[in-house]
Amino acid sequence: MNFRSDNEAPVNDQIMQALVEANQGFEESYGYDRFSVQFKSQCEALFECWVEALPLTTGTAANSIAMALACPPYGAIYCHEGAHINADECGAPEMFTGGAKLIPIQGDHGKICIHALTEKLAHSGVHGEHEVMPAVISLTQCTEAGTVYSLEELKALKALKEQYGLALHMDGARFANALVSLGCSPAELTWQTGVDMLSFGATKNGAMMAESLLLFNPKYKNQILRQRKRSGHLISKMRYVSSQLCAYLTGGLWLSLAQHANQQAQTFFQACQNQVEFIHPVEANEVFCRLSVDKIAALKQEGFEFHVWPGSQDIIRLVFSHATTADSVKQLIQAIKE
Amino acid sequence: MNFRSDNEAPVNDQIMQALVEANQGFEESYGYDRFSVQFKSQCEALFECWVEALPLTTGTAANSIAMALACPPYGAIYCHEGAHINADECGAPEMFTGGAKLIPIQGDHGKICIHALTEKLAHSGVHGEHEVMPAVISLTQCTEAGTVYSLEELKALKALKEQYGLALHMDGARFANALVSLGCSPAELTWQTGVDMLSFGATKNGAMMAESLLLFNPKYKNQILRQRKRSGHLISKMRYVSSQLCAYLTGGLWLSLAQHANQQAQTFFQACQNQVEFIHPVEANEVFCRLSVDKIAALKQEGFEFHVWPGSQDIIRLVFSHATTADSVKQLIQAIKE
Amino acid sequence: MNFRSDNEAPVNDQIMQALVEANQGFEESYGYDRFSVQFKSQCEALFECWVEALPLTTGTAANSIAMALACPPYGAIYCHEGAHINADECGAPEMFTGGAKLIPIQGDHGKICIHALTEKLAHSGVHGEHEVMPAVISLTQCTEAGTVYSLEELKALKALKEQYGLALHMDGARFANALVSLGCSPAELTWQTGVDMLSFGATKNGAMMAESLLLFNPKYKNQILRQRKRSGHLISKMRYVSSQLCAYLTGGLWLSLAQHANQQAQTFFQACQNQVEFIHPVEANEVFCRLSVDKIAALKQEGFEFHVWPGSQDIIRLVFSHATTADSVKQLIQAIKE
Amino acid sequence: MNFRSDNEAPVNDQIMQALVEANQGFEESYGYDRFSVQFKSQCEALFECWVEALPLTTGTAANSIAMALACPPYGAIYCHEGAHINADECGAPEMFTGGAKLIPIQGDHGKICIHALTEKLAHSGVHGEHEVMPAVISLTQCTEAGTVYSLEELKALKALKEQYGLALHMDGARFANALVSLGCSPAELTWQTGVDMLSFGATKNGAMMAESLLLFNPKYKNQILRQRKRSGHLISKMRYVSSQLCAYLTGGLWLSLAQHANQQAQTFFQACQNQVEFIHPVEANEVFCRLSVDKIAALKQEGFEFHVWPGSQDIIRLVFSHATTADSVKQLIQAIKE
């Protein structure tokens, strides 16, 4: 039973079906297909505003193109020290921006500490041109720790963004999980709290390889198509990316898949919270908890698959996905309680 | 009837079926799936040598990562002036290499003129460190003009490559079409004629989004995985790229699809060669010919879709793909002959 | 007797004296010294307009920062194929811009052929985002062939610049030589003919290491200080650069030095034009002429130093500098006539 | 009286005299002058080993070229969070490397905490290709806090460097001050404690604009000349950089200048240590101490010039240079004691 990653889960059947249906005859290439047009419309309806929607195949591409749009090569990007863009993208933001600097900010449970960021920004500029120029705040929602920024926390970031004239980027590789966790609208979670750019992921939540970069602020849209092309991310047969995204959003599929995943995580948490130390609040579909080394070994032997968190020996990460069955969660709970 | 681009053709049924079959349960992500392993094995069997095989989703990514592996930021890449890497990738090779310089070489019918290249290389180095350093020769096979380098022509490039200690890269977006056109083995067309790196395309010839970079020379493999990751080209659910590639190579599917496409182009050429001026020799699946402006308008009105070549008014490009039916070719011939 | 390069000439005495005089006590660093302020004022007086003046130590830095200011990483820079930025800067413009593409344009005598450029621009954009975006025209004045664009030729470039919304950059490593050759005003030769940015050289014409980038168009000044700093070109003890520049401009020194250099070249040309084939018109201080291989050897043996032009065997370049004496020119003429 | 920066001090007379003497007649350009040859020889004699010596005009260039030589674009550079390369070069190392990542390490008094670095390196690699690759440790000697790493501390860094196969770089903008502080030999302070590359500064200690990059390990010398050229740092009239460096090293001038500067700082420290809080140990020529806001204002009014440290209100930095007179130090001491 696989709790290792939502990237290891299969494609949702409705999305696979959409791919099969998109495979009829010839269709314009390089993003001029009808699915790409439809996806933009669906986004605008969902987010209740103008949206520039750029279909992509990886979250790293979405994040990095966002950085290239908003951050000059002599700019600074403020993010949590454990943010995917800082810790897991092998320098992609640096590559796409031509050498911008990521400023790692500390904070509990995967969230940027607002006080640490405030202080960092307050000290920026004292060395003038000898320093990089503050340009972007990037946050991950849900965070890499499986937690979710509240709307209040986002508004505090928005205030800083406005004070310093920065762009606000949200890495939403698991945006759907955050949205259903908070129970707010997509608009409330994004542009209404100051988000200019959203890396809007679908792959982890049921698509095959379908991500996108959504812009809510036209200020950052300059040459977005050339930025995609020059990084090799313009897919020729784009209909097969965009049709995934369309199916993902149709009929609320994305929300029900995320709801299911989050629910499995909650079931696990509720059942085990008295026996197990949870490292971070369980607010979406990722769970970090501490088990004995012996217990970890036993679980692995029983066929449960998960990551022991890099750098630790007794902290495991469990990811509950759209494809995680209630039965497998039940078995996991039992195995842990034994 | 679509003769505009093989990028507008649908996915071949066997490849689509392979995707459906790959969609069973959980599978390791980020390239550690069994299809990626299988693809490497298939490549090694086909090319009869050690191969480093890097599955990717675009040809621009394959080309650009190849350049990053073999060309330092102060290096020079020699290619035809009309090469895809020079004319159609919006500076991607420059981005991936950190600023290398592409040196455009002239030549008829899309092929690098060996004399022009010889002269260019003979003059390189006269300004010492003030000049970029020769590093790579990149050729496209089939060329952007639909022609195919003979093995003899490739050997002349190989000799230059060896004389100057360069890497030899082949952009094989339509490699299968070249291979069946020449009737030689994959090994003969690549490493046996000095090719160190092949951008091995499948998308145009029937896949959905599946390309790969194949290395035959271990000298260039340094940090190939990090190069893929930092450019955002590491697909998380990699099984859905690699399973396409496996199906593409299984049972000679790739060759029969290319054979079909080339055959349609030949049929057209044979039927029309006396009435129409062909701009380049017809050696694979792309055809460039001159028609009157009136004829072009008439064909468009009858529902034939194709590109009037950018920069001209009376030269059209016709692409015959794996999905082009013999019947549609027949109709096109009739329409042109009328 | 050295006719090899104006880079091998010594520093003019007045400039050396200025350095000695600047060496009094402490002075603010990093460009906030009084000489840097004075240099800007002198430029504004000379060019009769607002000027952003950035003191630098190399022409490559001036050119490359100019490119970084006006050309995005997905942009195109149009220049003569033999332009210093294309042929002699080892990819510096590509480095500073983050990967822009230089489009080499042909043309006689080192000048961009206006027809070739017009055609190239007319065809730009046909591939949309697949192509780099036209951004800059860069010309060298005097050219690398020792010729000088007339004001009419410059106006033709200005018209193209305006038609396509490009920046116009002038590499003026030998700007003074061009100016005295044309006998026009600095304003006429620059912003009045559409020049947005001038790499304004002083080193070749008598300074020690003092170049500058002058902006006439505020549109391109964004973050010019950070561009200088991040490329390592912010000199800490800047007074020693700026005081050279101030002395260079004071009392018309720069013009008299260039006048002298040009005059020596003319004297040589007038004396030898009937015996020797001159490759390019002699319009400033560089001369290219063809001599027999035996003659070249004889001259070298007699102690005349010059470059046989790279790629040729019988074309030599003679550079006449501010430090070239009339006597040495006389001896060279005699030696050639023997 | 200026205690603001050694960058505001004038040029030492012997060095200015060397410039005047170098200004005789013509001399080969672009680094092929006799002073550049002599400087390499002097370095090899002083450091008692093979040295590649690259004359430059800024420390940022020296540091950044060093990074480009040893760190790939997907690499990591470990340095103190306050290191010049991280905090004061506006992203130059990122630019020169094509996007490498600087990993800031904490530590008291400007020194990398060996435990923090050990832990950071121990955790590197756990995310495989998703992470940047450890490549360089860069330390500043003297540090930005005016302290000096002991040979024992350097050996601990050397052990880590060897364990992880990294390059060890020393930013020696004030190398002479560190050397005389420790009283060891140049060899002991560099390659004998594992230093592969030294940014060897002269400007702050009496030169006009003369820095250099010294390589002790031939492994990192690949294409060092092209790295200098492509960043615009190849000075055409190089004799005027190299002759400064030669004079700097001749007759122990560099050591006596540093000795003087350090001595002034010690005099100040000895006299004031009982009245004033010193933030960092005083080991070279920079002093950080806390004064009351009123005292600071009073000193400024009396004509003492110094920096209130950015981010603080009551910490000042005093820099004692080769040009700081004993008398001015005496006056400063008196003013503080009043």
DSSP labels for B25-88?
Answer: S----TT-SHHHHHHHHHHHHHHTS--EEEEES-HHHHHHHHHHHH--TTEEEEEETT-HHHHS
Task: Tell me which chain C residue has its CA closest to the CA of residue A101.
Answer: C230
| pLDDT > 90? residue A310 | no
Do D30 and C7 lie within an 8 Å CB cutoff?
A: yes
**pLDDT of amino acid A133:** 97
Token pair in block for residue D178: 């560190």
> Cis link prior to A142 (omega < 30° from 0)?
yes
d(CA B35, nearest CA chain A) in Å: 14
Query: Coil, strand or helix: which one is A301?
Result: helix
Closest to D198 measured CA to CA, from D184, D188, D207: D188
Q: For domain C13-252, is the CATH number 3.40.190.290?
A: no
Question: What is the distance between the terminal CA atoms of chain B, rounded to a whole angstrom?
Answer: 17
Query: Coil, strand or helix: which one is C137?
Result: strand
Task: Tell me which chain B residue has its CA closest to the CA of residue C134.
Answer: B90
User: In chain C, which residues fall in CATH 3.40.640.10?
Assistant: 13-252
Closest to B309 measured CA to CA, from B150, B169, B110, B155: B110
Nearest to A92 among B16, B27, B232 (CB): B232
Pick the range with the lowest mean pLDDT from B45-54, B123-132, B236-245, D38-47.
B123-132
Level-2 CATH architecture, domain A13-251:
3-Layer(aba) Sandwich (3.40)
Chain D residues within an 8 Å CB radius of C29: 5, 7-8
Chain C residues within an 8 Å CB radius of B135: none
Please give the interface size between A and B, counted as residue pairs whose CB atoms are below 8 Å apart.
143
Question: Do the bridges between strand C286-290 and strand C101-105 make them parallel or antiparallel, or are there none, so unpaired?
Answer: unpaired
Instruction: Enumerate residues 6+ apart whose C-beta is below 8 A from B183.
Output: none
Do C240 and D209 lie within an 8 Å CB cutoff?
A: yes
| pLDDT > 90? residue B126 | no
> Mean pLDDT throughout B258-272?
98
**pLDDT of amino acid C125:** 86
**pLDDT of amino acid C126:** 86
Pick the range with the lowest mean pLDDT from B236-240, B263-267, B308-312, C129-133.
B308-312
d(CA B28, nearest CA chain D) in Å: 15
Task: Tell me which chain C residue has its CA closest to the CA of residue A235.
Answer: C130
Please give the interface size between B and C, counted as residue pairs whose CB atoms are below 8 Å apart.
71
A36 band by pLDDT with thresholds 50, 70 and 90: very high
Residue in this structure with the two tokens 């430059």, named with its chain if needed? D56
> Cis link prior to D289 (omega < 30° from 0)?
no
Do C74 and A225 lie within an 8 Å CB cutoff?
A: no
Please give the Cα distance from B175 to B211 (Å, whole number): 11
Instruction: Enumerate residues 6+ apart whose C-beta is below 8 A from A218.
Output: A50, A52
Query: Coil, strand or helix: which one is A144?
Result: coil
What tens digit of pLDDT does each residue of D153-193 get? 999 999 999 999 999 999 999 999 999 999 999 999 999 99
d(CA C231, nearest CA chain D) in Å: 6
B275 band by pLDDT with thresholds 50, 70 and 90: very high
pTM for the structure as a whole: 0.97
d(CA A249, nearest CA chain C) in Å: 28
What tens digit of pLDDT does each residue of D273-300 get? 999 999 999 999 999 999 999 999 999 9
| pLDDT > 90? residue A66 | yes
Instruction: Enumerate residues 6+ apart whose C-beta is below 8 A from B212.
Output: B39, B43, B53, B54, B55, B56, B62, B199, B200, B202, B245
Closest to C80 measured CA to CA, from C51, C120, C124, C117: C117
Query: Coil, strand or helix: which one is D90?
Result: coil
Contacting partners of chain C (3+ CB pairs under 8 A):
A, B, D
Which residues of chain C fall short of a pLDDT of 50? none
Which residues of chain D fall short of a pLDDT of 70? none
**pLDDT of amino acid A222:** 86
**pLDDT of amino acid C253:** 98
Helices marked H in A252-304: 253-272, 293-301
**pLDDT of amino acid B192:** 98
> Length of chain D in residues, anyone?
338
Chosen from C78, C85, C94, C127 to mutate, greatest number of chain B CBs within 10 A = C94
**pLDDT of amino acid B249:** 98
**pLDDT of amino acid D104:** 97
| pLDDT > 90? residue B16 | yes
User: In chain B, which residues fall in CATH 3.90.1150.10?
Assistant: 253-337
Cα D83 to its chain centre, rounded Å, is 10
CB atoms within 10 A of CB C218: 10
- For residue D139, the cross-strand partners are D170
Task: Tell me which chain A residue has its CA closest to the CA of residue C75.
Answer: A226
| pLDDT > 90? residue B242 | yes
User: In chain D, which residues fall in CATH 3.40.640.10?
Assistant: 14-251
Q: Determine if residue D116 is left, alpha or beta; phi over 0 gives left, psi from -120 to 50 gives alpha, anything else beta.
A: alpha
**pLDDT of amino acid D125:** 86
Instruction: Enumerate residues 6+ apart whose C-beta is below 8 A from A8.
Output: A2, B26, B27, B28, B29, B237
Please give the Cα distance from A187 to A202 (Å, whole number): 18
| pLDDT > 90? residue B171 | yes
**pLDDT of amino acid D338:** 85
What tens digit of pLDDT does each residue of A74-104 get? 999 999 999 999 999 999 999 999 999 999 9
Please give the Cα distance from C193 to C185 (Å, whole number): 11
Please give the Cα distance from D19 to C125 (Å, whole number): 52
Chain C residues within an 8 Å CB radius of B90: 74, 129-132
| pLDDT > 90? residue B30 | yes
Cα A51 to its chain centre, rounded Å, is 18
- How many alpha carbons lie under 13 Å from residue B173 in its C-beta half-sphere? 27
What tens digit of pLDDT does each residue of B205-226 get? 999 999 999 999 999 998 999 9
Please give the Cα distance from C1 to B324 (Å, whole number): 73
User: In chain B, which residues fall in CATH 3.40.640.10?
Assistant: 12-251
Q: What percent of chain A has pLDDT over 70?
A: 100
Average pLDDT, chain B: 97
Do residues C176 and C254 lie in contact, with contact meaning Cβ atoms separated by under 8 Å? yes
Do D95 and C230 lie within an 8 Å CB cutoff?
A: yes
Do residues C55 and C39 lie in contact, with contact meaning Cβ atoms separated by under 8 Å? yes
Chain C residues within an 8 Å CB radius of D236: 7, 58-59, 203-204, 209
Topology of the domain comprising D14-251: Aspartate Aminotransferase; domain 2 (3.40.640)
**pLDDT of amino acid A282:** 98
**pLDDT of amino acid B125:** 86
Please give the Cα distance from D157 to D166 (Å, whole number): 10
Please give the Cα distance from B218 to C71 (Å, whole number): 37
Task: Tell me which chain C residue has its CA closest to the CA of residue B95.
Answer: C99
d(CA C73, nearest CA chain A) in Å: 8
What tens digit of pLDDT does each residue of D156-165 get? 999 999 999 9
Q: For domain D253-337, is the CATH number 3.90.25.10?
A: no
CATH number for the domain running over B12-251 = 3.40.640.10
